[in-house]
Amino acid sequence: LNSQIFLQDANEIRQKINRYLMDLVPCEPESLYIPVRKILGAGGKRVRPILSAFAAGINSTDDSWLPAAAAVELLHTFTLVHDDIMDNAATRRGLPAVHVQFGTNAAILSGDVLIALAQESLSKMDSLFAARMIAEFAIGFRMVCEGQALDKEYETRENISIAEYLAMIDLKTAKVLELAAVLGALAGSEVYLEEIRSFAHHLGLAFQIGDDLLDLTATHAELGKTIGGDILEGKRTFLFVTAMEIYDQLAETDQALLDRIRNRAAKPDDVETARQLFDRIGVLSSAKRAKKDQTVQAKNALGAIPGGVARDRLDAFSDFLLERAG
């Protein structure tokens, strides 16, 4: 698929979803909805709704996927608002995080109401599979909570293996992309559901490994989040977990830096040093390889789907995600 056409399709979906979300969210009370409208309007990439629309595999005049796609974007936005409280993150989408601008109580409640709005949106699906969609949504919601619990639990755990890391990001990140894809597929042709789910699963893993990389390699302007936040919070990211595997072979100063990250004692000055360390010991290239490898597995999952525009779109989507800079 021509990348120009892909970008046009993606933009059209973004516009539709943005309009739909702004119509769905009430205006009053303002103390509740101003923060919600602000985070929704702050310009997320909308990769999940784009995935839903492409998984629906239907022509651009049919918008039957929209309420389900919006439900997933609202669920995702809920995770961001609460995640920033949990991660002590000051910036989101280039703006102050909701809890920073409006206070923690407003951020908790914004997240809560985003879930209510997601369910309301999902209930607008006019589909034979409505009950199935509601079940998929509830399970996706539960799993992202489970993943966030593990993410926090691991911050204070001594040793995390790559397998544990992958299971954690599967829950906290990949399941929401899977949900986007599955709801899209159910809204559309309802065929090749498991292939599409597996595609989204691998893309989700690639996406979070990429997010871990961007925490150190992107610029603030591209990312709209604080660079090095994972280092300061002692997150068990792909980079950290991979570096810890060769801890014994490292020089003392490098070990001391990893110890500071592990003990959640790293300071802003450590961020650039950590990036250099991860570069020097090959951790950044390992992460790039792992991300690429998951993307290849995602593409392989598409192999069982007959060729055509729908498959080409999903394939182009995986290239787009692999190359994302922000």
Residues that bind ligand IPE (CB under 6 A): 44-45, 47, 79-80, 83, 87, 89, 93, 144, 148, 172-173, 208, 211, 225
Partner interacting with residue 208 (select from ligand IPE, Mg ion, none; CB below 5-8 Å by kind) = ligand IPE
Least spacing, CB of residue 172 vs Mg ion, in Å:
7
Q: State which residue has the least CB distance to Mg ion.
A: 87
Residue 233 interacts with Mg ion (CB under 5 A): yes or no? no
Least spacing, CB of residue 29 vs Mg ion, in Å:
28
Contact assessment for residue 208 and residue 150, using Cβ atoms and an 8 Å cutoff: no
Using CA atoms, how far apart are residues 122 and 132, in angstroms rounded to an integer? Answer: 11
Partner interacting with residue 124 (select from Mg ion, ligand IPE, none; CB below 5-8 Å by kind) = none
Q: Please give the helix or strand (H or E) that residue 75 lies within, else none.
A: helix 66-86
Stretch in the footprint of Mg ion (CB under 5 A) among 2-10, 154-162, 192-200, 211-219: 211-219
Partner interacting with residue 217 (select from ligand IPE, Mg ion, none; CB below 5-8 Å by kind) = none
Least spacing, CB of residue 80 vs Mg ion, in Å:
8
SS (H, E, C) 255-315: HHHHHHHHCCCCCHHHHHHHHHHHHHCCHHHHHHHHHHHHHHHHHHHHHHCCCCHHHHHHH
Least spacing, CB of residue 317 vs Mg ion, in Å:
21
Nearer to ligand IPE, 127 or 314 (CB): 314
Least spacing, CB of residue 324 vs ligand IPE, in Å:
8
Q: How many H helices and E strands in the chain?
A: 17, 2
| Residue 321 token pair | 């995600």
Nearer to ligand IPE, 66 or 176 (CB): 176
Q: State which residue has the least CB distance to ligand IPE.
A: 44
The owner of tokens 């669920």 is 75
Three-state DSSP at 88 gives coil
Partner interacting with residue 144 (select from Mg ion, ligand IPE, none; CB below 5-8 Å by kind) = ligand IPE
Least spacing, CB of residue 104 vs Mg ion, in Å:
15
Using CA atoms, how far apart are residues 273 and 254, in angstroms rounded to an integer? Answer: 9
Least spacing, CB of residue 191 vs ligand IPE, in Å:
27
DSSP secondary structure code for residue 249 in this structure: G
Residue 87 interacts with Mg ion (CB under 5 A): yes or no? yes
Residue 211 interacts with Mg ion (CB under 5 A): yes or no? yes
Residue 170 interacts with Mg ion (CB under 5 A): yes or no? no
Three-state DSSP at 92 gives strand
DSSP secondary structure code for residue 159 in this structure: -
Residue 312 interacts with Mg ion (CB under 5 A): yes or no? no
Phi-psi region of 235 (alpha: psi -120 to 50; beta: other; left: phi over 0): beta
Using CA atoms, how far apart are residues 280 and 106, in angstroms rounded to an integer? Answer: 43
Contact assessment for residue 16 and residue 145, using Cβ atoms and an 8 Å cutoff: no
Residues from 47 through 86 that contact Mg ion (CB under 5 A):
83
Binding site for Mg ion (CB under 5 A): 83, 87, 211
